[in-house]
Amino acid sequence: MKKITTLKKSLMVIGFIGWSLSGFAQAYKIDRNKVFFDREPIPHADARSFVDLGHGYAKDRNNVYHHGRILEFVDPATFRLKGRDNSHFHEEGDWHEHDRSPKGYYKTKFNVYYGDKKIDAMASSFKEIGDGYAKDAFNVFYYGKKIDGASASTFKYTGDGYAQDAFNAYYRGRKLD
């Protein structure tokens, strides 16, 4: 009788541990310009603008997602999670939060990263300017990707996904004609 009770308790503990760890297995991934959640492709997700917000939420330029499913009637341009630093910029060593991997911009003394990928930016002059836009003395970036032809010296974020420099206007990192 004692062996059965011990066995039941052991199975319950193992089951609870497996259930609690299963949440860590679910994650958003981008591979070959396709977005996946828990190894299932997300149709129509825009890999270029896709951002994992943590806690099962993500967004791209068109939609907001929760556990890989589109949240209907939610505006991705204004969607934010409460209780988090929404700046996407974290000082050295302060990027883990509750997620397993870094999100947003991360700067060391000499290098700049977006997520876990090093970007071609000068750390000494690098700064985030809002809503995924960042710049250094020479280059402008949108969610870690360099915006070709943008003038860093005059580039500024104007709100709601729009930005401008002395020559062009941009919407979510893309030059407008």
pTM for the whole structure: 0.45
Q: Name the residue among 7, 24, 20, 177 with its Cα closest to residue 101.
A: 24
Looking at residue 76, what is its pLDDT?
86
Tell me the average pLDDT of the chain: 79
Question: Which positions ≥6 away from 114 have C-beta within 8 Å?
Answer: 104, 105, 106, 141, 143, 144, 145
pLDDT level of residue 15 (50, 70, 90 thresholds): low
Residues facing 30 on adjacent strands: 35
CA separation for the pair 146, 112 (Å, rounded): 12
**What pLDDT shows up at residue 45?**
93
Q: Is the pLDDT of residue 88 over 50?
A: no
* Helix (H) or strand (E) run with residue 17 in it: helix 2-25
Nearest to 67 by CA among 20, 31, 27: 27
Of how many residues is the chain composed?
A: 177
Residue 87 above 70 pLDDT? no
* CA proximity to 47, closest of 61, 27, 66: 61
Residue 164 confidence class, pLDDT cut points 50, 70, 90 = very high
